[in-house]
Amino acid sequence: MTVVATGVGRAFGGVQALRDASFAARPGEIHALAGENGAGKSTLIKVLCGAIRADTGTVTVEGRIATAFQELSLLPDLTVAENLLLAAPPRGRLGLVRRGRLADEAALVLSRYGATGVDPRSPARDLAVSQKQVVELVRVLAMEPDVVFLDEPTAALAEREVDWLAGHMRRLRDAGACVIFTSHRWREIERLADRVTVFRNGTDVATRERLTEEEAITLMTGRTLGATYPDISGIVPGENALTVSGLTSGRLREVSFELRRGEILGVGGLAGQGQRDLFLTLFGAGKPTAGGLSAGGSRARAVRQPRDAIRAGIAYVPEDRKAEGLLLHLSIRDNVALATLARRSRAGFIRQRAEKAAVSGIAAKLDIGAGRSTAQAAGTLSGGNQQKAVMARWLLTDADVFLLYDVTRGVDAATKHDIYHLIADLARDGKAILFYSSETEEIAGLCHRVLVLREGRIVSELRGPVGDAETIVAASIREPADA
């Protein structure tokens, strides 16, 4: 065995990312790690390659290791060439780096591994996401390692580049290397992996050579698919809550739609087709270059910043809790109260009792932190509870329109279930909901109607509960009729 981990545990703040996890892989195999977001795959890879230390358990890895991290490890201010050759730059006499040769040498490396269309002189910061991913992979491949860890290597890649990577993975395996990778796309796991280890809630639940998608989903979620989404068929959308016309911003191109009260409107499509720009712009955090929106039927005052959006009755729950949602070392109470401070204040002073009551009320309703004091730091909460705390902040605003951007990311199954029902309850109360998830399943299961985005445009609108993710995925990749 080249890679062995036994009984590994690792916590971040209050979140137990790995608990008693075990894993083994041998030379000459491609081994996939499957699991939901937050199941512990990335943490396991980091522990295995030595980037972070395990709190408990033992890890042994034999041979030269190379790792492509999910949050890419390219140095943004260095050029592609410098990034690729950082460990072994070309040297002249006196052992000095020959800066003039760097780019040529890097071009050679890139072409040796069949990566085209990347300028070795360009700073890594200026590359497109897919190019960054390719450079990161070439960096790893060029080390000709015995053990390769690839964390979501295909997330930003197009079909052609995935084929390119698959070829290299097979070549490495055939040469006797041990290739370990994670992927969100089951098709890739099926196609590439010799064995699959499934993770759930920070621990391994099974290692198999053959595994169907249904079995995998059952193992990953610990439940069978289908019964989990609340029934929204009884909720009838009412009057218009949000009208978007010709909105152009960032990647977004002339997007128009209407969102009605009581409606859960899904935004589908492959990753990075402008979904994020849409949500941020609607919330006033992105500048539209054309078009606009009106909330509440009448032309609301211009939404230039989030503060305006909140006043216009719009709420935005972000995906990345740590970057955009929480103030980790501030108290739960500070976090939950933040968007509605002014409502419970007199002459700028916070009405402490009112605030305490409001926060405790919503915390109890959402069952945040199992009755823990709201004076504790938000960072001590588990991932699921952190997300609930962010939701609570926005529920207090009593907004009419909720923009929910990948709110279930990195959340445990039980909390996901709670969040689905929370969303359905909001719709039942007449709130309008715009919903995006990186797991298309959720959009299919939860929404009245789905808009499919492709290259910033709405290419398709699917009506009625869609039910299966395949329909949405098909619409995402199908060429539009008029193209």
Partner 1 sequence: MNRRVAYAVAVAAVVLILGAVLSPGFASWPGLRAVLIVASFTGFVAAGQMLVVLVGGIDLSIPWVLNAAAIVLTTTGLGLADRLPLALALAVGAGLLAGLVNGLGVAWLGVPAVVMTLGMNGVLQGLTLGVSQGLTCGDCGHYAPQPLRDLFAGTVPAALLVWLGAALFVTVLLTLTTFGRRVYATGANPRAAYLSGVGVKGVTVALYTLSGGFAALAGIMLVGYGGQASLGLGDPYLFESIAAVVVGGVSILGGRGDYLGVVAGSLTLVAVTTVLRAQQVPEYGRLMIYGLVILAILFAYGRERAHD
Partner 2 sequence: MRDLQDRLGYLVLAATALAYFAVYTTSLGRPPGSFDYLAILNTTMPLVLVALGQSLVVLTGGIDLSVGGVVSLCVAITAATGGAPGWIVAVVLLGALCGLVNGLVVAYGRIAPILTTLATLSVYTGAALWVLPVPGGSIVPEVRAVLSNPNVPTGLGWLALAVAGWWVLRRTRFGLRVYAVGSDETAARAVGVPVERVKATVYALSGLCSAAAAVFYVATTTAGDANAGAPFILTSIASVVVGGVAFTGGRGSAMGAVAGAVALTLVIDVLFFAGIDPLYQSLFQGLFLVVAVLLGTGAALLARRRAA
- CA distance readout (Å), 320 to 14, 38, 410: 17, 12, 9
DSSP assigned state of 455: T
Kindly state whether residue 254 participates in binding partner 2, applying the rule CB under 8 A. no
> At its nearest, how many Å lie between partner 2 and the CB of residue 13?
17
Kindly state whether residue 367 participates in binding partner 2, applying the rule CB under 8 A. no
Look at residue 478 and give the partner it binds from partner 2, partner 1, none, a contact being a CB closer than 5 to 8 Å depending on partner kind.
none
Kindly state whether residue 304 participates in binding partner 2, applying the rule CB under 8 A. no
Kindly state whether residue 323 participates in binding partner 2, applying the rule CB under 8 A. no
Query: Could you tell me how far CA 149 lies from the centroid of its own chain?
Result: 19
3-state secondary structure of 20: strand
Please choose, out of 19-27, 94-102, 172-180, 440-448, the segment that lies near partner 2 by the rule CB under 8 A.
94-102
Query: Could you tell me how far CA 99 lies from the centroid of its own chain?
Result: 38
Instruction: Tell me how far apart the alpha carbons of residues 258 and 276 are, in angstroms, rounded to a whole number.
Output: 18
Kindly state whether residue 224 participates in binding partner 2, applying the rule CB under 8 A. no
Kindly state whether residue 415 participates in binding partner 2, applying the rule CB under 8 A. no
Kindly state whether residue 75 participates in binding partner 1, applying the rule CB under 8 A. no
Using an 8 Å Cβ cutoff, are 461 and 266 in contact?
Answer: no
What are the residue ranges of helices labelled H in 14-126? 41-49, 80-85, 99-112
Provide the β-strand partners of residue 32: 181, 196
Site for partner 2 in 266-295 (CB under 8 A): none
Instruction: Tell me how far apart the alpha carbons of residues 62 and 2 are, in angstroms, rounded to a whole number.
Output: 5
> At its nearest, how many Å lie between partner 1 and the CB of residue 426?
19
Please choose, out of 21-29, 31-39, 74-82, 202-210, the segment that lies near partner 2 by the rule CB under 8 A.
74-82
Look at residue 73 and give the partner it binds from partner 1, partner 2, none, a contact being a CB closer than 5 to 8 Å depending on partner kind.
partner 2
Kindly state whether residue 74 participates in binding partner 2, applying the rule CB under 8 A. yes
Please choose, out of 76-84, 157-165, 195-203, 425-433, the segment that lies near partner 2 by the rule CB under 8 A.
76-84
Question: Under rule CB under 8 A, how many of the chain's residues touch partner 2?
Answer: 20
Structural element, H or E, at residue 133: helix 129-141
Using an 8 Å Cβ cutoff, are 468 and 266 in contact?
Answer: no
Kindly state whether residue 350 participates in binding partner 1, applying the rule CB under 8 A. yes
DSSP string, 71-101: S----TTSBHHHHHHSSS--B-GGG-B-HHH
3-state secondary structure of 230: coil
> At its nearest, how many Å lie between partner 2 and the CB of residue 173?
23
- Site for partner 2, rule CB under 8 A: 51, 67, 69, 72-78, 82, 86-87, 89, 95-99, 139
- Site for partner 1, rule CB under 8 A: 283, 285, 305-307, 309-310, 316, 318, 323-330, 334, 337-339, 341-342, 345, 348-350, 352, 393
